[in-house]
Structure 1
Amino acid sequence: MTDEPLTDLKAAALIADEARRAPDKPGVYRMYGEDGTCLYVGKARSLKKRIVQYAQGRFHTQRIGLMVSLTRSMELVVTASETEALLLESNFIKKLKPRFNVVLRDDKSFAELMIRRDHRAPQVRKHRGAHTIPGDYFGPFASTWAVNNTLNTLQKAFLLRSCSDSVYETRTRPCMLHQIKRCSAPCTGLISLEDYGELVTEAEQFLRGKSRAVIGRLSKDMQAASDDMDFEQAARIRDRIRALSAIAMENSVSAEGLAEADVFALHSDGGQACVQVFFYRAGQNWGGRAYFPRVDKSDTDPEIL
């Protein structure tokens, strides 16, 4: 390649040469500028067809046309599916931060709840990032408040530990969370691991949307304790039911049959855009968040989404 700036015609010829060699398979493509910096990362169902579009100047906005004119080289990665291409594209964008990709101003990952399964007494905690720890993951929750509120409710209702493994192993007597009825204290043997495992199973079922079944079983246990004149135990179960009922009501979904969905809405005007997202999991609304991506006036709504 020459050191002189590429014209649109020369850039198109360069990309056309890539198109002739590109496979008709899904994948991710990267466009690089003169100084070797990544200009753009994109995905396609067919790499060949997408690159041909660039070479022919089809669907170019002013911004995309400028990007093509600055392109000096391309790199292609073939993937097994469009889904894999989507994930790879996201990873490349976060790592390379290409100039011509729409950039979110807030790219922090969403919080989730996790029940760890790599310990004899599973721990419930808040989690962000990759699923590298063995366990059950629930989410995403769209706000820190939502995940913290649900975590507090789980502690009240199922008495699951939230302490670290090192703290668990060194406890000789119950901690403050047990005193305020937020943990069943498996660390000191106040509950057997078998009984603790039943609490973990109930928490998992609740998070998977089986709240009515869990509350129904607790109601029967409360009635049985009351019949046996064990009113203290009945009161403890009553408090657990109240905690679960409160969060089940807060997270109830009005749309019938909507169990698992990510719902997106977009409004754009005059070079500004707002994207609103809502998460529905296990028949519950787990919150929403607004994003304000940096966009160009020439960006279309599908490009922004």
Structure 2
Amino acid sequence: MDSEFDGKAFCKTVARLPGVYVMLGRSSECLYVGKAKQLRNRLTSYFVSTPQSGKIQRMLSRVASIQVHITKTESEALLLENTLIKEHRPRYNILLRDDKSYPYIRLSDSHDYPGLSLYRGGIEQKNKYYGPFSSAAAVRETLSEIQKIIPIRQCQDSYFRNRSRPCLQYQIKRCSAPCVGKVDRSTYDADVEDSVLLLEGKNEKLGVLLQRKMDQSSESLDYESAARYRDRIAALRKVLEKQYVSGGVANADIVVAVARADRGCVSVMSIRNGQNLGMRHYFQKTLLDETTGEMLTAILPQYYLRNPIPKELIVHPKIEGIIELTRIFSEKAGKKVIIKSNVRDYRAQWLEMALLNTTENLDRHLASKDAYTTRLKQLSKTLGLAVDPVRLECFDISHTAGEATVGACVVFDGEGPVSSQYRRFNMRSVEAGDDYGAMREVLQRRYRKVVENQEVLPDLVLVDGGKGQYRIAQEVLDELLLGDIPVVAVAKGRDRKAGSEKLYVSGRNSALTLPGISAGLHLIQQIRDEAHRFAITGHRQKRAKRRTYSTLEDVPGVGAVRRRALLQYFGGLQQLKRAPVEDLVKVPGISDSLAEKIYHFLRQD
């Protein structure tokens, strides 16, 4: 048996220098990562005679060793801390769990006829980007409003290249159809410049410009153009009526933290060009009784070291280490960044708005969590489980007549779905249409890996299917010596309607049918439906890819690289089949002779 870790003795060996400490458990798992101005003083504070909070004591009871990384400066320590947190995802650190990048509006400035589109990912110098927005829905709404004012194309380049006549967007006056020459280059370029003014928040300037164009068209007796500009001015006014625009600072983020008991919410409200682009909320569990200031201090580096940094950050509550954060953020942004907490005038209004929204969202989140906890307890009671399940895993199989079979596993914990731990499985050794064989393979692959890597085991396993799928699941778990994990198979009733499901449960000789109003049944339906959604999405993607590539794989002289180039250029197999030889040769890597072969091969049937 390992001897107990002597924290006080260890602290005496640590230098009084800045750096990062990593607390490790008995299996060398990372429990906590922290930084310190003086490592010895910070670590000693954990092991003094004064009792720590219950949560910190529980963490310290798991510590088997501590690693120390000395750095030259506090700034270097902060960067290293963020790197280690991102790499190890420590159990007791406050983590930024949503890794999805912010959506932007991209203007494809490198194209002859630039278009607007929703974009996530790295920033390319050849294009222009506007944002970030709080969600993809906010981007789509903004793009829709822009189209009402200025008819800029919003289609993909591959779609644009393959048009032979205007699409519906032209018919409803949302696009000027540059793809088929319905607008000349100079007019389209002017529209692009107008859209840039709109995206940059220069609405007054745009309004004056449109008014001038309308007057000029009217004076030259071009009443059709004058009417068009009149309609744009009206659309612009209508859109601006919906927006709250400040005449103050152009670019700022308001970042606030609010807590209730052991739950907290950190929110980011983005102001760009004086316009509120919306908010993002990150819900947290205060694992070590952190204050809202400590929560905010933990999240800020994780968030802004992976996202663009605006000129100004307004934070609430006031946090420690502002000087170091300001220096690091300024270096990353390549410009001076200001972090402040005491604000007045319109900044105070923004802060008040952010706090109000964050508080209301946290209250709604807690109410939703309470409802989820109630359903979880009801499910445990209904199934007769010894303890309430903390981790649930549900499996489903999806295919079309045996084609492109995909297995899926979704994970729920005490908070709800844990999408980062969802997994899909492509079948390796199962005959087409063998649902039982597919379920066996998926369960074996999943739980062999769990056992080998000593990963967290579920408290309850659900499978979509009837008695046969239940038997398969039980057999696999028994083979892996995991037979004590309860299994529930969810079978559809005779009419296949929600509420008539039959449940095959471990320890019961007959199927269990729950009333349609059962909270436990509602939770099972939610988890089962999520597994079905995840499985069928993967199946459709695999099927579409297989059908597309299976056709092109038979084309002589076309390998994987050229297949990708062809599909990317034309946007899909159907557009590729319609392409003439003169368009095929425009694709990089396609010669005249190969274009002829592809053209005739795709038309041979």
**1:153 aligns to what?**
145
Counterpart code for 1:295: T
Cα offset, 1:276, TM superposition: 3.6
Identify which range, 223-232 or 149-158, moves more after superposition: 223-232
Q: 1:264 to 1:7 in 2, by over 3 A?
A: same
C-alpha contact (below 8 Å) 1:103/1:294 kept by paired residues? no
C-alpha contact (below 8 Å) 1:150/1:247 kept by paired residues? no
Identify which range, 265-274 or 104-113, moves more after superposition: 104-113
SS in 2 for 1:55: helix
Cα offset, 1:292, TM superposition: 2.3
Q: Deviations along 1:139-183, whole A, 9 cap, x unmatched?
A: 122244432221112223222211111111111222111111111
Matching residue within 52, 55, 72 for 2:65: 72
**1:6 aligns to what?**
5
Matching residue within 272, 283, 289 for 1:292: 283
Gap regions ≥5 residues in structure 1: none
Distance 2:6 2:24 in 1: 15
SS in 1 for 2:259: strand
C-alpha contact (below 8 Å) 1:11/1:71 kept by paired residues? no
1:280 aligns with 2:271: yes
Identify which range, 106-115 or 30-39, moves more after superposition: 30-39
Q: 1:194 to 1:225 in 2, by over 3 A?
A: closer
C-alpha contact (below 8 Å) 1:267/1:275 kept by paired residues? yes
Q: Deviations along 1:202-226, whole A, 9 cap, x unmatched?
A: 2222211211111110111112223
C-alpha contact (below 8 Å) 1:54/1:68 kept by paired residues? no
Distance 2:159 2:204 in 1: 34
**1:229 aligns to what?**
221
Q: Deviations along 1:81-126, whole A, 9 cap, x unmatched?
A: 959956x766654553221221356554332211123322222111
Distance 1:53 1:279 in 2: 38
Distance 1:79 1:198 in 2: 53
SS in 2 for 1:292: strand
Distance 1:53 1:166 in 2: 61
**2:39 aligns to what?**
51
1:120 aligns with 2:126: no
1:214 aligns with 2:202: no
1:258 aligns with 2:249: yes
Distance 1:173 1:227 in 2: 33
TM-score, with length taken from structure 2: 0.42
C-alpha contact (below 8 Å) 2:32/2:93 kept by paired residues? yes
Q: 1:238 to 1:38 in 2, by over 3 A?
A: farther
Q: What is the 5 A alignment of 1:91-110?
A: 93-94=85-86, 96-104=88-96, 106-110=98-102
Cα offset, 1:287, TM superposition: 1.7
Distance 1:105 1:112 in 2: 20
Matching residue within 287, 300, 304 for 2:295: 304
Q: 1:170 to 1:99 in 2, by over 3 A?
A: same
SS in 2 for 1:234: helix
Number of residue-to-residue matches in the alignment: 291
C-alpha contact (below 8 Å) 2:103/2:119 kept by paired residues? yes
Identify which range, 161-170 or 74-83, moves more after superposition: 74-83
Q: 1:293 to 1:179 in 2, by over 3 A?
A: same
Distance 1:289 1:218 in 2: 34
SS in 1 for 2:229: helix
Q: What is the 5 A alignment of 1:24-39?
A: 31-39=23-31
Distance 2:69 2:238 in 1: 51
**1:177 aligns to what?**
169
SS in 2 for 1:293: strand
Counterpart code for 1:72: S
SS in 2 for 1:118: coil
C-alpha contact (below 8 Å) 2:266/2:281 kept by paired residues? yes
**2:179 aligns to what?**
187
Q: 1:181 to 1:301 in 2, by over 3 A?
A: same
Counterpart code for 2:44: Q
Taking only aligned residues, the RMSD between alpha carbons, in angstroms, comes to 3.5
Gap regions ≥5 residues in structure 2: 297-605
Distance 1:89 1:191 in 2: 55
Q: Identity rate of aligned residues, in percent?
A: 35
Distance 2:69 2:289 in 1: 26
Q: Which has the larger radius of gyration?
A: 2
Q: 1:80 to 1:231 in 2, by over 3 A?
A: farther
Cα offset, 1:299, TM superposition: 0.8
Counterpart code for 1:244: L
C-alpha contact (below 8 Å) 1:251/1:286 kept by paired residues? no
Cα offset, 1:269, TM superposition: 2.6
Q: 1:198 to 1:98 in 2, by over 3 A?
A: farther
Distance 1:134 1:81 in 2: 36
Q: 1:11 to 1:116 in 2, by over 3 A?
A: farther
Distance 2:83 2:209 in 1: 44
Identify which range, 27-36 or 152-161, moves more after superposition: 27-36
Q: 1:117 to 1:51 in 2, by over 3 A?
A: farther
Q: 1:29 to 1:262 in 2, by over 3 A?
A: farther
Identify which range, 4-13 or 261-270, moves more after superposition: 4-13
Cα offset, 1:197, TM superposition: 2.5
Distance 2:127 2:92 in 1: 38
Distance 2:158 2:127 in 1: 19
Counterpart code for 2:109: R
**1:164 aligns to what?**
156
| Structure number with higher relative contact order (C-alpha < 8 Å, ≥ 6 residues apart) | 1
Q: Deviations along 1:200-256, whole A, 9 cap, x unmatched?
A: 2222222112111111101111122233333332222222223322333333335x5
